[in-house]
A and B are shown apart, each in its own frame.
Chain A
Amino acid sequence: MLGFDRLVALVAKDLLIELRSRDVAYSTLVFALLVLVIFNFAFELRAENLQVLAPGVLWVTFIFAAVLALGRVFAAERDRGVLEGLLLCPIDRGAIYLAKLVSALVLMLVVEAVAIPAFIALFGLNLPLLPLGLVALLGSLGFASVGTLFSALAAHTRTREGLLPILLFPISVPVIIATVKATTVVVAGDPWELALPWLQLLVGFDALFVGISYLVFELVVED
Protein backbone atom coordinates (compact mmCIF):
# COMPACT_ATOMS: atom_id res chain seq x y z
CA MET A 1 0.00 0.00 0.00
CA LEU A 2 1.93 2.95 -1.33
CA GLY A 3 -0.59 5.60 -0.20
CA PHE A 4 -0.95 4.21 3.28
CA ASP A 5 2.80 4.37 4.05
CA ARG A 6 2.84 8.02 3.11
CA LEU A 7 -0.23 8.75 5.14
CA VAL A 8 1.45 7.19 8.19
CA ALA A 9 4.60 9.19 7.51
CA LEU A 10 2.64 12.44 7.34
CA VAL A 11 0.75 11.72 10.54
CA ALA A 12 3.99 10.68 12.27
CA LYS A 13 5.56 13.97 11.19
CA ASP A 14 2.74 16.01 12.74
CA LEU A 15 2.63 14.00 15.93
CA LEU A 16 6.41 14.08 16.34
CA ILE A 17 6.44 17.87 15.96
CA GLU A 18 3.64 18.07 18.50
CA LEU A 19 5.38 15.67 20.88
CA ARG A 20 8.54 17.73 20.80
CA SER A 21 7.06 21.20 20.96
CA ARG A 22 3.77 20.47 22.77
CA ASP A 23 2.57 23.78 21.32
CA VAL A 24 -1.02 22.81 20.80
CA ALA A 25 -1.61 19.97 23.24
CA TYR A 26 -0.41 21.91 26.24
CA SER A 27 -2.52 25.03 25.69
CA THR A 28 -5.55 23.02 24.60
CA LEU A 29 -5.43 20.72 27.60
CA VAL A 30 -5.09 23.50 30.14
CA PHE A 31 -7.81 25.41 28.32
CA ALA A 32 -10.18 22.42 28.53
CA LEU A 33 -9.59 22.04 32.25
CA LEU A 34 -10.17 25.76 32.77
CA VAL A 35 -13.46 25.60 30.89
CA LEU A 36 -14.58 22.81 33.22
CA VAL A 37 -13.69 24.96 36.22
CA ILE A 38 -15.55 27.93 34.74
CA PHE A 39 -18.61 25.75 34.17
CA ASN A 40 -18.52 24.89 37.83
CA PHE A 41 -18.78 28.57 38.74
CA ALA A 42 -21.32 29.32 36.01
CA PHE A 43 -23.76 26.52 36.87
CA GLU A 44 -22.86 25.63 40.46
CA LEU A 45 -22.52 22.01 39.41
CA ARG A 46 -23.88 19.80 42.17
CA ALA A 47 -25.20 16.28 42.50
CA GLU A 48 -28.78 17.43 41.71
CA ASN A 49 -28.10 19.15 38.40
CA LEU A 50 -24.97 17.33 37.31
CA GLN A 51 -26.61 14.53 35.39
CA VAL A 52 -28.72 16.97 33.33
CA LEU A 53 -25.87 19.38 32.64
CA ALA A 54 -22.99 16.93 32.18
CA PRO A 55 -23.49 16.26 28.42
CA GLY A 56 -23.63 19.96 27.60
CA VAL A 57 -20.72 20.82 29.86
CA LEU A 58 -18.56 18.07 28.38
CA TRP A 59 -19.31 18.89 24.77
CA VAL A 60 -18.95 22.64 25.07
CA THR A 61 -15.57 21.97 26.68
CA PHE A 62 -14.53 19.55 23.92
CA ILE A 63 -15.73 21.80 21.12
CA PHE A 64 -14.06 24.95 22.43
CA ALA A 65 -10.82 23.07 22.99
CA ALA A 66 -11.16 21.51 19.53
CA VAL A 67 -11.52 24.91 17.86
CA LEU A 68 -8.36 26.01 19.59
CA ALA A 69 -6.50 22.92 18.40
CA LEU A 70 -7.96 22.90 14.89
CA GLY A 71 -6.98 26.53 14.38
CA ARG A 72 -3.34 25.52 14.65
CA VAL A 73 -3.50 22.49 12.37
CA PHE A 74 -2.11 24.34 9.37
CA ALA A 75 -0.07 26.91 11.29
CA ALA A 76 3.33 25.34 10.60
CA GLU A 77 2.39 24.71 6.99
CA ARG A 78 1.53 28.36 6.54
CA ASP A 79 4.21 30.06 8.63
CA ARG A 80 7.20 27.95 7.71
CA GLY A 81 6.32 27.15 4.12
CA VAL A 82 5.82 23.46 4.83
CA LEU A 83 2.79 23.35 2.58
CA GLU A 84 4.85 24.06 -0.53
CA GLY A 85 7.17 21.23 0.46
CA LEU A 86 4.27 18.87 0.98
CA LEU A 87 2.73 19.82 -2.35
CA LEU A 88 6.01 19.04 -4.08
CA CYS A 89 5.96 15.52 -2.66
CA PRO A 90 4.50 12.82 -4.86
CA ILE A 91 1.43 12.42 -2.66
CA ASP A 92 -2.23 12.71 -3.43
CA ARG A 93 -3.62 16.03 -2.14
CA GLY A 94 -6.40 14.14 -0.41
CA ALA A 95 -3.78 12.18 1.57
CA ILE A 96 -2.49 15.45 3.02
CA TYR A 97 -6.02 16.18 4.17
CA LEU A 98 -6.47 12.72 5.68
CA ALA A 99 -3.14 12.98 7.51
CA LYS A 100 -4.11 16.34 8.97
CA LEU A 101 -7.51 14.94 9.90
CA VAL A 102 -5.92 12.03 11.78
CA SER A 103 -3.47 14.33 13.58
CA ALA A 104 -6.28 16.68 14.61
CA LEU A 105 -8.43 13.77 15.72
CA VAL A 106 -5.62 12.29 17.82
CA LEU A 107 -5.12 15.65 19.48
CA MET A 108 -8.85 16.01 20.21
CA LEU A 109 -9.03 12.48 21.63
CA VAL A 110 -6.03 13.09 23.88
CA VAL A 111 -7.69 16.21 25.27
CA GLU A 112 -10.95 14.30 25.80
CA ALA A 113 -9.10 11.40 27.40
CA VAL A 114 -7.76 13.82 30.01
CA ALA A 115 -10.89 15.96 30.36
CA ILE A 116 -13.30 13.07 31.00
CA PRO A 117 -11.40 11.64 34.00
CA ALA A 118 -10.88 15.20 35.24
CA PHE A 119 -14.63 15.74 35.00
CA ILE A 120 -15.30 12.54 36.94
CA ALA A 121 -12.75 13.47 39.58
CA LEU A 122 -13.94 17.06 39.95
CA PHE A 123 -17.67 16.45 40.03
CA GLY A 124 -17.92 12.90 41.30
CA LEU A 125 -20.31 11.71 38.60
CA ASN A 126 -19.61 8.24 37.32
CA LEU A 127 -19.63 8.11 33.55
CA PRO A 128 -19.76 4.85 31.58
CA LEU A 129 -16.43 5.17 29.82
CA LEU A 130 -16.80 2.75 26.94
CA PRO A 131 -20.07 4.06 25.42
CA LEU A 132 -18.98 7.62 26.12
CA GLY A 133 -15.71 6.94 24.32
CA LEU A 134 -17.60 5.70 21.26
CA VAL A 135 -19.76 8.85 21.16
CA ALA A 136 -16.66 11.00 21.67
CA LEU A 137 -14.85 9.23 18.83
CA LEU A 138 -17.71 9.61 16.34
CA GLY A 139 -18.45 13.17 17.39
CA SER A 140 -14.83 14.25 17.29
CA LEU A 141 -14.38 12.71 13.86
CA GLY A 142 -17.36 14.66 12.57
CA PHE A 143 -16.12 17.87 14.09
CA ALA A 144 -12.56 17.32 12.88
CA SER A 145 -13.64 16.36 9.34
CA VAL A 146 -15.09 19.78 8.48
CA GLY A 147 -12.81 21.46 11.02
CA THR A 148 -9.60 20.35 9.29
CA LEU A 149 -10.86 21.56 5.93
CA PHE A 150 -12.01 24.90 7.32
CA SER A 151 -8.77 25.26 9.24
CA ALA A 152 -6.94 25.17 5.91
CA LEU A 153 -9.31 27.87 4.59
CA ALA A 154 -9.07 30.03 7.69
CA ALA A 155 -5.27 29.81 7.75
CA HIS A 156 -5.20 31.84 4.54
CA THR A 157 -7.56 34.58 5.63
CA ARG A 158 -6.61 37.90 7.16
CA THR A 159 -8.11 36.94 10.52
CA ARG A 160 -6.17 33.65 10.55
CA GLU A 161 -7.86 31.17 12.86
CA GLY A 162 -10.29 33.85 14.06
CA LEU A 163 -12.70 32.92 11.31
CA LEU A 164 -12.69 29.19 12.11
CA PRO A 165 -15.49 29.03 14.71
CA ILE A 166 -17.77 31.18 12.53
CA LEU A 167 -17.30 28.75 9.65
CA LEU A 168 -17.32 25.59 11.72
CA PHE A 169 -20.11 25.99 14.30
CA PRO A 170 -23.12 26.41 11.98
CA ILE A 171 -22.01 23.56 9.72
CA SER A 172 -21.42 21.21 12.64
CA VAL A 173 -24.79 21.82 14.32
CA PRO A 174 -25.90 18.23 13.52
CA VAL A 175 -22.76 16.88 15.23
CA ILE A 176 -23.33 19.02 18.29
CA ILE A 177 -26.99 17.97 18.59
CA ALA A 178 -26.25 14.28 18.02
CA THR A 179 -23.31 14.06 20.41
CA VAL A 180 -25.09 15.90 23.22
CA LYS A 181 -28.20 13.75 22.77
CA ALA A 182 -26.26 10.50 22.64
CA THR A 183 -24.20 11.54 25.67
CA THR A 184 -27.43 12.32 27.54
CA VAL A 185 -28.62 8.77 26.93
CA VAL A 186 -25.26 7.37 28.04
CA VAL A 187 -25.02 9.51 31.17
CA ALA A 188 -28.60 8.77 32.24
CA GLY A 189 -27.98 5.06 31.76
CA ASP A 190 -31.01 4.78 29.47
CA PRO A 191 -31.44 1.83 27.10
CA TRP A 192 -28.74 1.80 24.47
CA GLU A 193 -31.23 1.80 21.56
CA LEU A 194 -32.24 5.38 22.37
CA ALA A 195 -28.79 6.58 21.38
CA LEU A 196 -28.80 4.57 18.16
CA PRO A 197 -30.46 7.15 15.83
CA TRP A 198 -27.97 9.77 17.01
CA LEU A 199 -25.02 7.45 16.43
CA GLN A 200 -26.34 6.67 12.96
CA LEU A 201 -26.64 10.39 12.26
CA LEU A 202 -23.02 10.84 13.41
CA VAL A 203 -21.76 7.99 11.23
CA GLY A 204 -23.62 9.45 8.25
CA PHE A 205 -22.27 12.96 8.89
CA ASP A 206 -18.72 11.64 9.37
CA ALA A 207 -18.77 9.60 6.16
CA LEU A 208 -20.31 12.40 4.09
CA PHE A 209 -18.03 15.19 5.26
CA VAL A 210 -14.80 13.21 5.34
CA GLY A 211 -15.65 12.26 1.74
CA ILE A 212 -16.49 15.78 0.56
CA SER A 213 -13.51 17.32 2.35
CA TYR A 214 -11.17 14.69 0.88
CA LEU A 215 -12.44 15.58 -2.59
CA VAL A 216 -12.36 19.38 -2.28
CA PHE A 217 -9.12 19.70 -0.33
CA GLU A 218 -7.23 19.79 -3.61
CA LEU A 219 -9.02 23.06 -4.38
CA VAL A 220 -7.88 24.65 -1.13
CA VAL A 221 -4.18 24.12 -1.72
CA GLU A 222 -4.28 24.85 -5.44
CA ASP A 223 -1.83 27.74 -5.35
Chain B
Amino acid sequence: MVSKGKLEWLDLLGIVTGLSLIAALYGALVYAPTERIQGPVQRIFYFHVPSAWVAYLAFFVVFVASIAYLWRRSAFWDRLGRASAEVGVAFATLTIITGSIWARPIWGTWWTWDARLTTTLILWFIYLAYLALRSYVSDPNRAARYAAILGIIGFVDVPIIHMSVVWWRTLHPEPVVVRAGGPALEPPMLAALFLGLVAMTLLYVYLLIHWVMVEEVRDDLQLIRQRLAE
Protein backbone atom coordinates (compact mmCIF):
# COMPACT_ATOMS: atom_id res chain seq x y z
CA MET B 1 0.00 0.00 0.00
CA VAL B 2 1.06 3.56 -0.59
CA SER B 3 2.40 5.28 2.51
CA LYS B 4 1.95 8.94 3.36
CA GLY B 5 5.67 9.74 3.11
CA LYS B 6 5.94 8.27 -0.36
CA LEU B 7 3.10 10.46 -1.58
CA GLU B 8 4.70 13.64 -0.30
CA TRP B 9 7.94 12.74 -2.00
CA LEU B 10 6.04 12.10 -5.22
CA ASP B 11 4.20 15.41 -4.95
CA LEU B 12 7.55 17.15 -4.69
CA LEU B 13 8.73 15.35 -7.82
CA GLY B 14 5.51 16.40 -9.53
CA ILE B 15 6.10 20.07 -8.66
CA VAL B 16 9.72 19.91 -9.86
CA THR B 17 8.59 18.22 -13.08
CA GLY B 18 5.92 20.86 -13.66
CA LEU B 19 8.38 23.71 -13.10
CA SER B 20 10.97 22.16 -15.39
CA LEU B 21 8.33 21.69 -18.10
CA ILE B 22 7.46 25.39 -17.84
CA ALA B 23 11.16 26.25 -18.01
CA ALA B 24 11.54 23.98 -21.05
CA LEU B 25 8.59 25.68 -22.73
CA TYR B 26 10.17 29.07 -22.07
CA GLY B 27 13.51 27.79 -23.37
CA ALA B 28 11.98 26.38 -26.55
CA LEU B 29 9.52 29.15 -27.37
CA VAL B 30 11.17 32.33 -26.03
CA TYR B 31 14.79 31.89 -25.04
CA ALA B 32 16.05 29.95 -28.07
CA PRO B 33 16.57 32.16 -31.13
CA THR B 34 14.49 31.50 -34.24
CA GLU B 35 16.33 29.30 -36.68
CA ARG B 36 17.42 31.34 -39.71
CA ILE B 37 16.39 28.94 -42.47
CA GLN B 38 13.63 26.82 -40.98
CA GLY B 39 11.88 29.54 -39.01
CA PRO B 40 9.65 28.96 -35.95
CA VAL B 41 8.83 25.37 -36.98
CA GLN B 42 12.27 24.34 -35.83
CA ARG B 43 11.21 24.98 -32.21
CA ILE B 44 9.36 21.65 -32.20
CA PHE B 45 12.83 20.11 -32.19
CA TYR B 46 13.09 20.92 -28.45
CA PHE B 47 10.19 18.54 -27.77
CA HIS B 48 10.80 16.05 -30.55
CA VAL B 49 14.34 15.08 -29.54
CA PRO B 50 13.54 14.73 -25.81
CA SER B 51 10.47 12.59 -26.64
CA ALA B 52 12.60 10.30 -28.78
CA TRP B 53 15.20 10.07 -26.02
CA VAL B 54 12.55 9.19 -23.44
CA ALA B 55 10.98 6.57 -25.75
CA TYR B 56 14.31 4.80 -26.21
CA LEU B 57 15.08 5.14 -22.49
CA ALA B 58 11.67 3.66 -21.65
CA PHE B 59 12.24 0.67 -23.94
CA PHE B 60 15.65 0.14 -22.38
CA VAL B 61 13.95 0.12 -18.97
CA VAL B 62 11.53 -2.53 -20.31
CA PHE B 63 14.55 -4.59 -21.36
CA VAL B 64 16.21 -4.30 -17.93
CA ALA B 65 12.94 -4.97 -16.11
CA SER B 66 12.33 -8.03 -18.32
CA ILE B 67 15.69 -9.55 -17.43
CA ALA B 68 15.22 -8.69 -13.76
CA TYR B 69 11.75 -10.25 -13.77
CA LEU B 70 12.91 -13.53 -15.30
CA TRP B 71 15.73 -13.63 -12.79
CA ARG B 72 13.92 -12.53 -9.61
CA ARG B 73 10.27 -13.29 -10.47
CA SER B 74 9.01 -10.41 -8.39
CA ALA B 75 5.80 -8.62 -9.33
CA PHE B 76 7.57 -5.27 -9.08
CA TRP B 77 9.80 -5.86 -12.11
CA ASP B 78 6.83 -7.03 -14.11
CA ARG B 79 4.86 -3.90 -13.24
CA LEU B 80 7.86 -1.72 -14.04
CA GLY B 81 8.20 -3.33 -17.49
CA ARG B 82 4.49 -2.99 -18.17
CA ALA B 83 4.40 0.65 -17.03
CA SER B 84 7.55 1.62 -18.92
CA ALA B 85 6.27 0.03 -22.14
CA GLU B 86 3.02 1.99 -21.93
CA VAL B 87 4.76 5.29 -21.23
CA GLY B 88 7.36 4.48 -23.90
CA VAL B 89 4.70 3.86 -26.55
CA ALA B 90 3.09 7.19 -25.64
CA PHE B 91 6.40 9.03 -26.07
CA ALA B 92 7.23 7.16 -29.28
CA THR B 93 3.85 8.22 -30.65
CA LEU B 94 4.64 11.80 -29.63
CA THR B 95 8.02 11.53 -31.36
CA ILE B 96 6.47 10.35 -34.61
CA ILE B 97 3.73 13.00 -34.51
CA THR B 98 6.04 15.94 -33.70
CA GLY B 99 8.46 14.68 -36.34
CA SER B 100 5.72 14.60 -38.96
CA ILE B 101 4.55 18.11 -38.07
CA TRP B 102 8.11 19.34 -38.55
CA ALA B 103 8.75 17.31 -41.68
CA ARG B 104 5.68 18.58 -43.52
CA PRO B 105 6.90 22.20 -44.03
CA ILE B 106 10.65 21.42 -44.02
CA TRP B 107 10.87 18.22 -46.10
CA GLY B 108 7.54 18.80 -47.84
CA THR B 109 6.21 15.43 -46.74
CA TRP B 110 4.71 13.94 -43.58
CA TRP B 111 6.85 10.87 -43.78
CA THR B 112 10.02 9.65 -45.44
CA TRP B 113 11.65 6.23 -45.15
CA ASP B 114 14.78 7.60 -43.60
CA ALA B 115 16.72 5.16 -41.41
CA ARG B 116 15.96 6.79 -38.08
CA LEU B 117 12.28 7.28 -38.85
CA THR B 118 11.90 3.71 -40.02
CA THR B 119 13.64 2.28 -36.94
CA THR B 120 11.42 4.33 -34.62
CA LEU B 121 8.31 3.16 -36.46
CA ILE B 122 9.32 -0.51 -36.23
CA LEU B 123 10.11 0.00 -32.56
CA TRP B 124 6.67 1.47 -32.05
CA PHE B 125 5.16 -1.67 -33.61
CA ILE B 126 7.26 -3.97 -31.42
CA TYR B 127 6.01 -2.36 -28.22
CA LEU B 128 2.44 -2.27 -29.47
CA ALA B 129 2.85 -6.03 -29.90
CA TYR B 130 4.30 -6.19 -26.39
CA LEU B 131 1.20 -4.53 -24.96
CA ALA B 132 -1.10 -6.69 -27.12
CA LEU B 133 0.66 -9.87 -25.97
CA ARG B 134 0.13 -8.86 -22.35
CA SER B 135 -3.54 -8.24 -22.76
CA TYR B 136 -4.23 -11.46 -24.66
CA VAL B 137 -2.74 -13.83 -22.11
CA SER B 138 -5.18 -14.58 -19.31
CA ASP B 139 -2.87 -16.04 -16.69
CA PRO B 140 -0.96 -13.15 -15.07
CA ASN B 141 2.24 -15.12 -14.40
CA ARG B 142 2.32 -16.39 -17.93
CA ALA B 143 1.59 -12.90 -19.29
CA ALA B 144 4.51 -11.51 -17.32
CA ARG B 145 6.87 -14.25 -18.53
CA TYR B 146 5.84 -13.95 -22.17
CA ALA B 147 6.07 -10.17 -22.09
CA ALA B 148 9.54 -10.37 -20.54
CA ILE B 149 10.68 -12.66 -23.37
CA LEU B 150 9.41 -10.18 -25.96
CA GLY B 151 10.90 -7.29 -23.95
CA ILE B 152 14.33 -8.89 -24.27
CA ILE B 153 14.07 -10.03 -27.89
CA GLY B 154 12.58 -6.71 -28.98
CA PHE B 155 15.39 -4.66 -27.52
CA VAL B 156 18.17 -6.96 -28.72
CA ASP B 157 16.67 -6.58 -32.18
CA VAL B 158 16.80 -2.75 -32.17
CA PRO B 159 20.46 -2.36 -33.25
CA ILE B 160 20.00 -5.06 -35.92
CA ILE B 161 16.88 -3.36 -37.25
CA HIS B 162 18.69 -0.03 -37.31
CA MET B 163 21.72 -1.49 -39.07
CA SER B 164 19.61 -3.26 -41.69
CA VAL B 165 17.53 -0.13 -42.31
CA VAL B 166 20.65 2.04 -42.69
CA TRP B 167 22.10 -0.44 -45.19
CA TRP B 168 18.78 -0.65 -46.97
CA ARG B 169 18.79 3.13 -47.32
CA THR B 170 22.42 3.63 -48.28
CA LEU B 171 22.52 0.70 -50.68
CA HIS B 172 19.34 1.96 -52.26
CA PRO B 173 19.81 3.20 -55.87
CA GLU B 174 17.86 6.44 -55.36
CA PRO B 175 19.65 9.36 -53.79
CA VAL B 176 18.89 9.98 -50.13
CA VAL B 177 15.94 12.36 -50.13
CA VAL B 178 16.73 14.86 -47.45
CA ARG B 179 19.41 15.03 -44.83
CA ALA B 180 18.59 16.58 -41.50
CA GLY B 181 22.18 17.80 -41.00
CA GLY B 182 21.60 21.47 -40.27
CA PRO B 183 24.24 23.80 -38.84
CA ALA B 184 25.71 23.04 -35.45
CA LEU B 185 23.57 24.25 -32.56
CA GLU B 186 24.02 27.72 -31.07
CA PRO B 187 24.60 27.76 -27.28
CA PRO B 188 21.09 29.09 -26.45
CA MET B 189 19.59 26.36 -28.63
CA LEU B 190 21.69 23.77 -26.87
CA ALA B 191 20.51 25.10 -23.54
CA ALA B 192 16.86 24.90 -24.64
CA LEU B 193 17.40 21.33 -25.82
CA PHE B 194 19.06 20.44 -22.54
CA LEU B 195 16.14 21.91 -20.60
CA GLY B 196 13.74 19.88 -22.75
CA LEU B 197 15.69 16.69 -22.12
CA VAL B 198 15.70 17.24 -18.34
CA ALA B 199 11.99 18.14 -18.25
CA MET B 200 10.90 15.18 -20.39
CA THR B 201 13.04 12.74 -18.43
CA LEU B 202 11.53 14.02 -15.17
CA LEU B 203 8.08 13.68 -16.71
CA TYR B 204 8.90 10.10 -17.68
CA VAL B 205 10.04 9.21 -14.18
CA TYR B 206 6.98 10.87 -12.67
CA LEU B 207 4.58 9.09 -15.02
CA LEU B 208 6.42 5.80 -14.59
CA ILE B 209 6.10 5.86 -10.80
CA HIS B 210 2.41 6.64 -11.06
CA TRP B 211 1.91 3.96 -13.65
CA VAL B 212 3.65 1.35 -11.52
CA MET B 213 1.32 2.34 -8.66
CA VAL B 214 -1.71 2.03 -10.93
CA GLU B 215 -0.56 -1.42 -12.04
CA GLU B 216 -0.15 -2.37 -8.39
CA VAL B 217 -3.73 -1.36 -7.65
CA ARG B 218 -4.87 -3.17 -10.78
CA ASP B 219 -3.14 -6.37 -9.64
CA ASP B 220 -4.74 -6.04 -6.20
CA LEU B 221 -8.12 -5.57 -7.81
CA GLN B 222 -7.65 -8.65 -9.94
CA LEU B 223 -6.71 -10.66 -6.87
CA ILE B 224 -9.80 -9.48 -5.00
CA ARG B 225 -12.01 -10.33 -7.96
CA GLN B 226 -10.46 -13.76 -8.19
CA ARG B 227 -11.08 -14.43 -4.50
CA LEU B 228 -14.67 -13.26 -4.79
CA ALA B 229 -15.22 -15.59 -7.71
CA GLU B 230 -13.85 -18.60 -5.87
Contacts and interface: CB of A to CB of B under 8 A. Distances in A.
Contacts of A169: 125
Q: Which of A170, A177, A208, A216 has the most CB of B within 10 A?
A: A170
Interface in B123-148: 123, 125-126, 128-129, 132-133, 136-139, 141-142, 145-146, 148
Contact of B133 (A167, A204, A219, A223): A167
Contacts of A178: 164
Given A157-B136, A216-B152, A181 B146 contact: no
B149 interface: yes
B163 A201 contact: yes
B26 interface: no
Interface residues of A, number: 31
B70 A219 contact: yes
Interface in A149-172: 149, 153, 156-159, 163, 166-167, 169-171
A206 to B, nearest CB: 11
Shortest 5 CB-CB distances between A and B: which pairs?
A174-B164, A157-B136, A170-B125, A170-B126, A177-B164
B201 to A, nearest CB: 26
A222 B128 CA distance: 25
Nearest to A219: B145
Interface of A: 146, 149, 153, 156-159, 163, 166-167, 169-171, 173-174, 177-178, 181, 197-198, 201, 204-205, 208-209, 212, 216, 219-220, 222-223
B101 interface: no
A3 to B, nearest CB: 23
Contacts of A157: 133, 136-137
Given A204-B160, A223-B142, 19 more contacts: A149-B149, A153-B133, A157-B136, A163-B136, A166-B129, A169-B125, A170-B122, A170-B123, A170-B125, A173-B165, A174-B161, A181-B171, A201-B160, A208-B156, A209-B153, A219-B149, A220-B146, A222-B145, A223-B139
16 contacts: A153-B133, A156-B142, A156-B146, A163-B132, A163-B136, A166-B129, A167-B129, A170-B126, A173-B165, A177-B167, A197-B171, A198-B167, A201-B167, A212-B152, A216-B152, A216-B153
B164 A159 contact: no
A173 B122 contact: yes
B81 interface: no
B152 A158 contact: no
Query: Main SS of the interface on chain A?
Result: helix
A205 B160 contact: yes
B136 A158 contact: yes
Nearest to B143: A157
A181 B168 contact: yes
A159 B161 CA distance: 27
Contacts of B145: 219-220, 222
Contacts of B146: 153, 156, 220
Contacts of B149: 149, 153, 216, 219-220
B35 interface: no
B150 interface: yes
A59 B171 CA distance: 19
A58 B154 CA distance: 26
A216 B129 CA distance: 18
A198 B154 CA distance: 21
A161 to B, nearest CB: 11
